[in-house]
Each structure stands twice: as structure tokens, then as C-alpha cells.
Amino acid sequence: MPKVLLVRHGETIWNNQLRYQGHTDIPLSEIGRQQAERLALRLKNWPITAFYASDLSRAQETAQIIARYHQKPVVLCNGFRETKFGAWEGLTYKEIAAQFPDVWNAWQRDPVNVVIPQGESVSQVADRAWKALQQILCQHRDDDMILIASHGGTIRLILARALQMNLNLFWNIRQDNTALNIIDAYNDRYIISLVNDTSHLEQI
């Protein structure tokens, strides 16, 4: 099965302000575009055969900046969206804890099973993202290299599922903006060869 490059989108204003974005369609900031361009230059000579992205603009634009060097289209897939944070979107974690203390504390303990008000649980996000990944893998040859631009929480969950981790521990996997992660897929076995690599940002 193909090699998968999982890329988190570049920075947005809400990232900088530590606000939960979820399905709110916040575009890349100028810094985010610079970050994506740095990653694009790093990957410009890699033999990437296909590009996919969450349909939210921050991930879509990140993929498009990278794909431009390969003259390939970006296929959008809403299965790779960030967690739907519902009533929490636009709030910082301190504001969420103050306004939704009971649900916030429960979610901190058991995000797999706790559904965010007007949103999703971690297990729901993991299921849809993993399903989207499997559908894409089935469409490619073993020697293909594919890039998927997605979101911090979603990528953490894909990596956790690949490692057969307890999904409640997904926050233990760090994901910075434009982080590069690599999964080598072998049928039902997944080898993680790179996690949260941002060496391309050293000059910013």
C-alpha cells in the first residue's frame, strides 16, 4: 500500500489566539501561508502522486500551495475535517472550561465517548477519518506516495489508530502547524516513520 504524508494545515489567526476552530472555516494567516510555502519547497522534488485535503479552506489552501509545484489537483474530502467542536468553536480552552465546566471536565477524562455540545466525540472523528483514509488507500498502488492535508486533532487520531493506541491519549501526540508525518501502509499494518517534523520552519 502507498506511503502517506499527513500534513497539518498552516497557522490561522484562531490558532495564534488558541481558539477552537473545528468546522468553522478560518483561512490561513499570512504566517500560515509562509509556513505552507516552506513545506512546499521541502517537498517539491518528492514523487507525490496525489493530493487530498479536508474541504475546510485552511487545509485546502495548504495542500494547494504544495501541489502547485507538482502541477496536480487537490481532491477534497470532508472525512478529514477537524473535530466538530460545535458550541465551543471560537472559544479558548479557558472560556470553554468556564462556560461548560461539566462537559469540559468529562471530555478531558473521556473524549472518546463524550459528545461535545452540538459537536462530535473523538470516536466519531476517528471513525470518519479512518474510513476516508482506507477509501483513498484502496485507490492507489503500493509504490504511490500521497499527501493528505488535514487538522491537528484529526491527524492525531489517524496516527493513534494506526498505532492501535487508546484514543483517549490522542492529545499526547504533538502536531504543530504544517507538521509532516509519514505512514508506511502494509495491508493491515502501519509503520509511522516520521511524526510532527517542522524542520522546514527553522528559517521563519
Which position among 37, 61, 70, 82 bears the catalytic label? Answer: 82
| 204 marked as binding residue | no
| 8 marked as binding residue | yes
Q: C-alpha grid cell for residue 156?
A: 492525531
Q: Can 82 be counted among the known catalytic residues?
A: yes
| 14 marked as binding residue | yes
Strand order in 145-150's β-sheet?
A: 74-76, 50-53, 145-150, 3-8, 180-186, 189-197
| 45 marked as binding residue | no
Which position among 9, 23, 70, 151 bears the catalytic label? Answer: 9
Please say whether the beta carbons of 181 and 192 come within 8 A.
yes
| 48 marked as binding residue | no
| 26 marked as binding residue | no
Give residues with Cβ within 8 angstroms of 38, minimum separation 6: 178, 200, 201, 203, 204
| 120 marked as binding residue | no
Closest C-alpha among 14, 32, 70 to residue 179: 32
Q: Cite the annotated binding site for substrate by residue number.
A: 8-15, 58
Residues known to be catalytic: 9, 82
Q: Name the binding residues.
A: 8-15, 58
